[in-house]
Structure 1
Amino acid sequence: MQTLITALLWFSAIGCGLIAGLYFAFSTFIMTALDRIGHAQGAAAMNSINSTILGSLFMPLFFGTTAAAALLALLGLVRWSEPGAMVMLAGGLVYVVGMFLCTVVYNVPLNNELARVGSGAADAWARYLKDWTFWNHVRTVASTAAMALFIVALLARHSTSP
């Protein structure tokens, strides 16, 4: 069981880091670049990104990291007395709530709305850009924080191993 937990922590830390990096890129320059090319072109490009990502390697990483984080949260609860359990639980909760639920509740519906209205509505693009980017900032912070918490859990478990 110890080896499984360690493997899940490594996978989750790396997965969170990769996902945080992607979200960071969108938050810091991709959305700004899409806005600079105009609302019709920006919306069309974002719709293309949104449809392309669904068939990419991002999706197994997205769902795999979410499943691993949820399992680590559960294991942190069940194995509370072990070193690193509290930060495993915290990392899992931060990731599942701050990244996954945020994506499902906010970002995906905004993506669906953008796909529905297309690239013709400047006001829809402006609203999408503001709201989607805000929630993407939340996902970026949550993914980064979860990565850090999983690393702390690894260190706590390592420092007490024989």
Structure 2
Amino acid sequence: MRNILTSGLLWFSALGCGLLAGLYFAFSAFVMTALGRIDQAAGISAMNAISVDIVRSLFMPVFLGTTLSCAALVVLGALRWQEPGAIAMICGGALYVVGMFIVTVVFNVPLNDQLAAVDPASAAAAPVWARYLTDWTIWNHVRTIASLAATTLFIVAIAAR
């Protein structure tokens, strides 16, 4: 039974991490650049709309479910660290939880909150928007890399089992 649970969590985590890596990659590769090229008020308004809508979408169950699944894989891997693929499970789960979830909570969400607190058309929004475009994107790169690396490690764990 434990093997079926572990296999299911590995597959779910690999798919969830891959899905989120793709989403974060899109933001890093072109969405933030495009938002930075348009009028400040329009860019801020668009990003604020994205921030509101994303928490109401299918993103949230995938985001939270994958995080919980990855955390469970860290525990399961630690309990059976000597089994094939366990180290990859532990590393993939820890990397995802820290590099994606913790980074999101500590860096990206507070930046979203700061952006939501400014009047998009005001002069005071200009430095907030400039900082947001740089800092949010840097942390998004971290989330992209962590999610993609975790996907890879879960595939390694699946192959080793």
TM-score interval, normalised by the smaller of the two chains: over 0.9
Structure 1 stretches of 4+ moved >6 Å? none
Contact 1:40 1:122 in 2 (8 A): no
Q: Distance between the aligned counterparts of 2:10 and 2:39, measured in 1?
A: 42
Two-structure CA RMSD over aligned residues (Å): 0.6
Q: Deviations over 1:77-125 (max 9, x none)?
A: 0111111000000000000000000000000000000001131311110
Partner of 1:112 in structure 2? 113
Residues 17-28 of structure 1 aligned to structure 2 (within 5 Å)? 17-28=18-29
**In the alignment, does 2:4 pair up with 1:3?**
yes
Q: Deviations over 1:35-66 (max 9, x none)?
A: 11121110100000000001000000000000
**Gapped regions of structure 2 (runs ≥ 5):** none
**Farther off after superposition, 92-101 or 36-45:** 36-45
Q: Distance between the aligned counterparts of 2:4 and 2:131, measured in 1?
A: 47
Give the alignment partner of residue 134 of structure 2, picking from 130, 136, 144: 130
Q: Distance between the aligned counterparts of 1:128 and 1:118, measured in 2?
A: 14
Q: Distance between the aligned counterparts of 1:118 and 1:34, measured in 2?
A: 16
Give the alignment partner of residue 149 of structure 2, picking from 136, 145, 148: 145
Residues 1-162 of structure 1 aligned to structure 2 (within 5 Å)? 1-119=2-120, 120=122, 121-157=125-161
Q: TM-score, normalised by structure 1?
A: 0.96
**Gapped regions of structure 1 (runs ≥ 5):** 158-162
Q: Distance between the aligned counterparts of 1:39 and 1:126, measured in 2?
A: 9
Q: Which amino acid aligns with 2:133?
A: L
Percent same amino acid at aligned positions? 63
Q: Which amino acid aligns with 1:96?
A: V
